[in-house]
A and B are shown apart, each in its own frame.
Chain A
């Protein structure tokens, strides 16, 4: 079987969240007959249970489709799905590297949004041809012509002949397919050259070992080839190659240059496979590796502990498995007096943190306690040493600290003009530095602020949404570090400091945060037989206090023959509630309390 390179199209779909990317992918797969509509499960590509539930794409997925074009020729489409959220830019970047072009989906009612721009720039960075599609034209508020104009004005790409479609109803999907053939370039690359393949994803299968997702740039790979990972140096023999069916792996004879597919090479050690690495022939290596990706560093850290300390090894195992195809997840062991053995984990952002937490709980059936998220602070000590602090408990004694720095991000917020004032106020409250504001059109403004990362990791996104009634979108990237007056806020429960509740805070916010934290904990901690003082302290000085009053009265006044069963259930329920508690000293603290700091701004 030989594959004509000019009949291959490798592309992805990029969009702002909710503009209909996954629905369009479904339609394309359905239209090309890869699956009949009866077999279609909505959003085929989002096959993680969690993705379908939340309606978002977290991991990249790929599928090969055969399309018979109007010119009578058959084309192979390799469609690679990409995540849409800012936290997963890294994943987007990985998928883009495997493509030659990108379909840009823009909502006909909402127009260009912050994430639209961010994704287009990413695509252009990877030298991809971008082909716009205007979706949701079935909406009453759709303005396809204005949106086409906007795409040309704001992004600067040709959009007048962009297909106007409804992915939901399937309207004009044929136009999209035809334009893919016309506008997305065919891949280049010599199938006879030494193998040069880019790893853009991987996952672990207990039968096949590591399954490597790759884009063949040069050469050909087939079963029996001896291959080598250029970065890690690991080499092995290929046991299977193939391409992606909808939701399944389909083995084939070989993958020549230009193709997207997978290979297995009985790689048992997951560390030998690194996403972004280049695969080549062991005995006929290519001269130089592909550029790979920009390595991403976690921005947010938090402690993750098993609720049942006996599950510590299970947690480690689960984290290792997740890390195989999520290289952005970092973790290292740590211990807490309050929580025992666990891991300090690094994430790209809060959504990433939440997703990982949910995947651990769902896919690995773990019950977790997580501590308040923290950013990485730079602590400059008086002896000239600098430490990168990811766990507030490890802050050195104040006498040893010369000064501290905190990460700052460059934030871009797109908002309709009615809410500009409200959003500016929010940014001021979060210690933002105003950079600029420009009007994109009569209705929308792009605000630029520098914001300390620790002001946005908790609930900035929620605050933004609520203060703009959902009309603001937000994107950020790490800008650098700035010196700042920071202190460690400690929490004492019944006079005992609880390490897992400490956090770093801007000095002037310490009192307010401490007070709110005490109030919050007072609500979370159930009453005990004795009174429990809850104190917030900075440098040993108590700045706020609340008290959980002692339990005084807790009685069932009546209990006779007819209601013994019901009363017993009531008592059982009361006892059940204690199961999700952590004993610290002689106080039982609910697991949720360790995340209290996240909710300080809810009211």
Chain B
């Protein structure tokens, strides 16, 4: 049997950069978009040859806003993929789209390209919040996009929402959530807003973040208590509605969990193409350049690889695996590393268990709900500290 591999394709372009976004994305004219697609094709050609013995199990086109590209561009990209790689018949093939950038023609093209999962960036069902975030669309535009997608027969749709927005109460976020659940999407990602350095939001809100971290009263952002309530209510509500809470920020109807993303957390092998994309192949991590001009000049050039030591592999196994609500089977660890997990992390597991942050049950190891709330603290324990 051929070895499996996931494929990630990065499209770094957006109509406009949102105020909170620190992803590798920016606006671009048609010329640059064309050049970029050509570069992607070159890179796909290169890696297609190199990994021709692999079978691609999932494809994820992320961004940026991949749906901003023209349908011809997207079809060209997928043609190149199919020409170079053997893609499994049951592959999960996702694309991220934003309301205001799609059309009937694009959806039809996606369908014909074999795309079978859409991830729609909504963020909020309230227009004033969308405006605050710097989004280019309204809730109404989202509804139209969603209907159109269903109309084209997309039966696996994710909707992204964002909580802990400035001034937002738990109740108000729940209202967004309810409006979305009514549409019965197969998957919902509910992220809390992270104020990232270098974004316009950082200048406005970072002092508040500092205050919140120190347990003090916030002025613009929701308080810690409100944030806490929001995540708790979200989990309860979505589970009542039949969604499976399977990762810190992800919920899905049973069987509709995103296979591509689970691959990241289970350390499956993946090839990333496009600007700044990362790959994990044979326990070597590669990262493409983040400089667009350099990328356009030299797209097929192999990115410098960082071989992961055994310790680094174990650390990643832990801090990624425990992001999943159901954690992992202890045998997954011993199969991967040839040693029982207690032999390496016995003490840490024990101390986290003692603090009620982790549990071992029926051969599985996972964080408790309390552990998930402070997961940075819990997961950091698995990382080595020098000296």
Q: Mark each residue of chain B from 1 to 40: 1 if its CB lies under 8 Å from any CB of chain A, else 0.
A: 0000000101000000000000010000000000000000
Q: A558-B249, A561-B280 are in contact. Are A553 and B373 (CB under 8 A)?
A: yes
Structural contact, B374 and A572, CB atoms closer than 8 A: no
Report B330 CB to chain A, min CB distance, Å. Answer: 22
Is B320 part of the binding interface, using a Cβ–Cβ cutoff of 8 Å? yes
The answer to whether A565 and B285 touch across the interface, beta carbons within 8 angstroms, is yes
CA distance A487 to B214 in the complex (A): 32
Segment at the A interface, from B74-82, B236-244, B377-385: B377-385
User: 1/0 contact trace for B253-287 toward A, CB 8 Å?
Assistant: 00000000100110000101000111010000101
Asked if A579 is at the interface of the complex by the 8 Å CB criterion, the answer is yes
Contacting pair B8 A552 (CB below 8 A)? no
Least Cβ distance of A182 to chain B in Å?
61
Encode contact with A along B355-387: 1 for CB under 8 Å, 0 otherwise.
101000000000000001111110111010101
Contacts of B231 in A (CB 8 A): 553
B219 on the A face (CB < 8 A): no
Taking a contact as CB atoms under 8 Å apart, the answer to whether A527 and B215 are in contact is yes
B277 to chain A, nearest CB (A): 6
Instruction: Report A548-585 residues with CB < 8 Å from chain B CB.
Output: 548-549, 551-565, 568, 570-572, 574-576, 578-579
- Contact residues on B (Cβ < 8 Å of other chain), bracket: 35 or more
Q: Which residues of chain A from 140 to 162 have a CB within 8 Å of any chain B CB? A: none
Q: How far is the CB of B305 from chain A (nearest CB, A)?
A: 12
**Is B380 a contact of A564 with CB atoms below 8 Å?**
no
A555's nearest neighbour on chain B, judged by CB, is B375
Q: A549: shortest Cβ distance to chain B, in Å?
A: 4
Separation of A576 and B380 alpha carbons in the complex (Å)? 10
Q: Could you tell me if A564 and B249 are in contact, using CB atoms closer than 8 angstroms?
A: no
Known contacts A555-B192, A555-B376, A557-B248; A572 and B383 CB within 8 A of each other = yes
Q: A591 → chain B, closest Cβ, in Å?
A: 15
Residue from the list A529, A548, A565, A572 in contact with B278, Cβ < 8 A: A565
Q: Is B45 an interface residue (CB 8 A)?
A: no
CB distance from A287 to the nearest CB of B (A): 59
**A562 B276 Cβ-Cβ under 8 A:** yes
- A422 CB → nearest B CB, Å: 32
Interface residues of B in 185-204 (CB under 8 A from A): 191-194
**How far, in angstroms, from A558 to B264 measured CA to CA in the complex?**
12
Question: Do the beta carbons of A574 and B376 come within 8 Å of each other?
Answer: yes
A332 within 8 A of B: no
In the complex, are the beta carbons of A560 and B264 less than 8 A apart? yes
B224 within 8 A of A: yes
| Complex CA–CA separation, A554 to B228 (angstroms) | 10
The answer for the CA separation of A548 and B383 in the assembled complex, in Å, is 26
B135 at the interface (CB under 8 A from A): no
A365 on the B face (CB < 8 A): no
Residue in chain A with minimal CB distance to B6 = A561
User: B340 within 8 Å of A by Cβ?
Assistant: no
A560 to B8, CA, bound (A): 11
Assess the B383–A575 pair: CB atoms within 8 A: yes
Report the separation of the CA atoms of residues A578 and B355 in the bound assembly, to the nearest whole angstrom: 18
**Looking at B10, B228, B380, which has the most chain A CB atoms within 10 Å of its CB?**
B380
Contact A559 B323 (CB under 8 A): yes
Q: Is the CB of B320 within 8 A of A559?
A: yes
Given contacts A555-B248, A571-B376, A574-B376, contact A564 B215 (CB under 8 A): no
A553 with B228: CB separation less than 8 A: yes
B71 at the interface (CB under 8 A from A): no
Shortest distance between the CB of A367 and any CB in chain B (Å): 10
Interface readout for B294-318 with A: 1 if CB under 8 Å, 0 if not? 0000000000001000000001100
Check if B227 is an interface residue, CB within 8 A of chain A: yes
Q: Report whether B264 and A568 are in contact in the complex, using a CB–CB cutoff of 8 Å.
A: no
A529 touches B8 (CB 8 A): no
Q: Are B224 and A557 in contact (CB under 8 A)?
A: no
Inter-chain contact B376/A556, CB cutoff 8 Å: yes
A175 at the interface (CB under 8 A from B): no
Contact A548–B215 (Cβ < 8 Å): yes
Decide: B385 and A579 in contact? CB cutoff 8 A.
yes
* Residues 516-571 (chain A) with a chain B CB within 8 angstroms: 523, 527, 529, 548-549, 551-565, 568, 570-571
* Given A562-B278, A579-B385, A554 and B375 contact (CB-CB distance below 8 Å): yes
For residue B139, CB closer than 8 A to chain A, the reply is no
Do the beta carbons of B383 and A571 come within 8 Å of each other? yes
Contacts of B154 in A (CB 8 A): none
Are B377 and A529 neighbours in the complex by a CB distance under 8 Å?
A: yes
Instruction: Enumerate chain A residues within 8 angstroms of B379, measured Cβ to Cβ.
Output: 571
Q: Complex Cα distance A571/B215, Å? A: 20
Q: For B246, what are the chain A residues with a Cβ–Cβ distance below 8 Å?
A: none
Q: How far is the CB of B103 from chain A (nearest CB, A)?
A: 27
**28 A–B pairs (Cβ distance < 8 Å), ordered by A:** A527-B215, A548-B215, A552-B228, A552-B373, A553-B224, A553-B227, A553-B231, A553-B373, A554-B373, A556-B194, A557-B194, A558-B249, A559-B265, A560-B261, A561-B272, A562-B10, A562-B24, A562-B272, A562-B276, A564-B264, A564-B278, A564-B320, A568-B315, A571-B319, A571-B380, A574-B376, A575-B380, A576-B385
| Interface residues of A, Cβ cutoff 8 Å to B | 523, 527, 529, 548-549, 551-565, 568, 570-572, 574-576, 578-579
